[in-house]
Structure 1
Amino acid sequence: MSREFPVGLTPPDWLVRNLQPQQASVNWAAIARAAMALALPLAIGLAAGEPGYGALASMGALSGVIGDTADAYRLRILNIAVPQLFGAIGVTIGSLVFGHGWVAVGAVTGVALVSGMISTIGAVASVSGLLLLLNCSIGAGLPLPGEWWLAPLLMSGGGLLVLALALLAWPLRSGVPERAAVASTYRTVADLLAASGTDAYDDLRHAVTESLNQSYDVVLARRAFHHGRSPDLVRLLAQLNAVTPVVEAAPAAHQHGKPLPAEVPAAVRHLAEAVETGYTGPIGLRLPAPANETARAVDHALRYAADVVTGQAPGPHPVDDRLGRPAALRIRAARAARNVLLSAASWRYGLRLALCIGLAQVLVSIIPVPRSYWVTLTITFVMKPDFGSVFSRALLRALGTVAGLVVAAGVLTVVPRGWWDVPVLLVLGPLIPAFTPRGYGYQTAAITPVILLLSDVLNHQGTGLLVPRLVDSLMGCAIALVAGYLLWPESWHTRVGDRLADAVADTAGYVELAFGAGVDPAARARRRRRLYRDLSSVRTEFQRALTEPPPTGRRAAAWWPLVVAVERMVDATTAARVRVKEGAPEPSAAEVAHVVLQLRELSEGLRETEVLFAVRTDLTGPSGSVLEPLRQEVAAARAIASPH
Structure 2
Amino acid sequence: MPQPPAWLAHPFRWQRGPVPWPALLRGALGMGPVLAAGLATGHRPAAIAAGLGAMFATLNDRPGTRRVAAVRIAVPALAGALGFFGRLAPGWWALPLLTLVGLLSGAVSVAGPVCAAAAVQLLVLTAVGAGMPLAAPPWVTALCFLAGALWPLLLRLTVSPSRADGERHAVAAVFDALADALDAVGTPAAEAARRRLTGALDQADEALRLWGPWHRITGRPLLGRFAAAAALCEASVALLWEGTPLPPRVAEGPRLLAAAVRAGAAPGALPAPVSDTAARSAFDRAVLDATLAFADPVVPSVVPPRSRPGARPLGPVGRENGLRVAVCVAVSTAAALLLRADYWYWLPVTAAFLVKPDVGPLFSRVVNRCAGTALGVLLFAALPTRGAELAAVTLAGALIPLAGRHFAAQTAVITVTVLAFVSLGGDTRASGTRLADTALACAIVLVVGHLPRLASTRTSVGHRFAVALRHARHYLEHVLSGAPEGPERAALRRTAYRALAEARAAAETAAAELHADRNWLPVTARAERIVDATTACAVRLDHGRPTPAAPTAHRITTELAALADTLDGLTPDTPEAATAPADCRTLNDIVGELHRIRTLTDAR
Tell me, yes or no, if the aligned pair for 1:188 and 1:208 is still in contact at 8 Å.
yes
Q: Which residue of 2 aligns with 1:165?
A: 155
Deviation of the 1:132 alpha carbon = 2.1
Deviation of the 1:533 alpha carbon = 1.0
Q: Choose which of 471, 477, 496 in structure 2 pairs with 1:531.
A: 496
| Structure 1 residues 590 and 112: CA distance shift in structure 2, 3 A | closer
Q: Does 1:428 align with 2:368?
A: no
Deviates more, 1:103-112 or 1:195-204: 103-112
Deviation of the 1:183 alpha carbon = 1.1
Tell me, yes or no, if the aligned pair for 1:92 and 1:139 is still in contact at 8 Å.
yes
| Structure 1 residues 566 and 326: CA distance shift in structure 2, 3 A | closer
Deviates more, 1:288-297 or 1:31-40: 288-297
User: Cα deviations across residues 16-48 of structure 1 (Å, max 9, x unaligned)?
Assistant: 123212334432222111111221133335556
Distance, in Å, in 1 between the alignment partners of 2:138 and 2:537 is 65
Q: Secondary structure at the match of 1:69?
A: coil
| Mapping for residues 141-540 of structure 1, pairs under 5 Å | 141-146=131-136, 149-169=139-159, 172-223=161-212, 226-227=213-214, 230-279=216-265, 281=266, 283-311=268-296, 314-315=299-300, 317=302, 321-325=303-307, 346=318, 349-368=321-340, 371-384=343-356, 386-411=358-383, 415-418=384-387, 420-436=388-404, 438-459=405-426, 461=428, 464-483=429-448, 485-486=450-451, 488-518=453-483, 521-540=486-505
Q: Which residue of 2 aligns with 1:581?
A: 542
Tell me, yes or no, if the aligned pair for 1:110 and 1:354 is still in contact at 8 Å.
yes
Q: Secondary structure at the match of 1:564?
A: helix
Give the aligned residue type for 1:168: T
Q: Does 1:567 align with 2:528?
A: yes
Q: Does 1:44 align with 2:16?
A: no
Q: Secondary structure at the match of 1:429?
A: helix
Deviation of the 1:146 alpha carbon = 4.7
Distance, in Å, in 1 between the alignment partners of 2:321 and 2:577 is 40
User: Cα deviations across residues 578-602 of structure 1 (Å, max 9, x unaligned)?
Assistant: 1232344544445544544554554
Distance, in Å, in 1 between the alignment partners of 2:62 and 2:506 is 21
Q: Which residue of 2 aligns with 1:130?
A: 120
Give the aligned residue type for 1:468: T
| Structure 1 residues 571 and 625: CA distance shift in structure 2, 3 A | closer
Q: Choose which of 597, 617, 622 in structure 1 pairs with 2:582.
A: 622
Give the aligned residue type for 2:372: G
User: Cα deviations across residues 260-308 of structure 1 (Å, max 9, x unaligned)?
Assistant: 22222111011112222222x4632123433333322221111212211
Give the aligned residue type for 1:574: T
Q: Choose which of 53, 58, 67 in structure 2 pairs with 1:60.
A: 53
Tell me, yes or no, if the aligned pair for 1:181 and 1:214 is still in contact at 8 Å.
yes
Tell me, yes or no, if the aligned pair for 2:86 and 2:127 is still in contact at 8 Å.
no
Deviates more, 1:241-250 or 1:138-147: 138-147
Tell me, yes or no, if the aligned pair for 1:178 and 1:219 is still in contact at 8 Å.
yes
Tell me, yes or no, if the aligned pair for 1:587 and 1:626 is still in contact at 8 Å.
no
Distance, in Å, in 2 between the alignment partners of 1:460 and 1:102 is 22
Tell me, yes or no, if the aligned pair for 1:217 and 1:325 is still in contact at 8 Å.
no
Q: Secondary structure at the match of 1:231?
A: coil
Instruction: Report how many residues are paired.
Output: 602
Distance, in Å, in 1 between the alignment partners of 2:121 and 2:341 is 23
Distance, in Å, in 2 between the alignment partners of 1:639 and 1:87 is 46
Tell me, yes or no, if the aligned pair for 1:621 and 1:628 is still in contact at 8 Å.
yes
Tell me, yes or no, if the aligned pair for 1:42 and 1:54 is still in contact at 8 Å.
yes
| Structure 1 residues 129 and 562: CA distance shift in structure 2, 3 A | closer
RMSD between superposed Cα atoms in Å = 3.3
Q: Secondary structure at the match of 2:481?
A: coil
Distance, in Å, in 2 between the alignment partners of 1:358 and 1:584 is 60
| Structure 1 residues 114 and 493: CA distance shift in structure 2, 3 A | closer
Distance, in Å, in 1 between the alignment partners of 2:315 and 2:477 is 31
| Structure 1 residues 565 and 122: CA distance shift in structure 2, 3 A | closer
User: Cα deviations across residues 417-464 of structure 1 (Å, max 9, x unaligned)?
Assistant: 22x44443333322211121x233332122112222222222252xx3
Distance, in Å, in 1 between the alignment partners of 2:578 and 2:350 is 53
Deviation of the 1:536 alpha carbon = 0.8
Tell me, yes or no, if the aligned pair for 1:400 and 1:444 is still in contact at 8 Å.
yes
Distance, in Å, in 2 between the alignment partners of 1:179 and 1:300 is 23
Q: Secondary structure at the match of 1:232?
A: coil
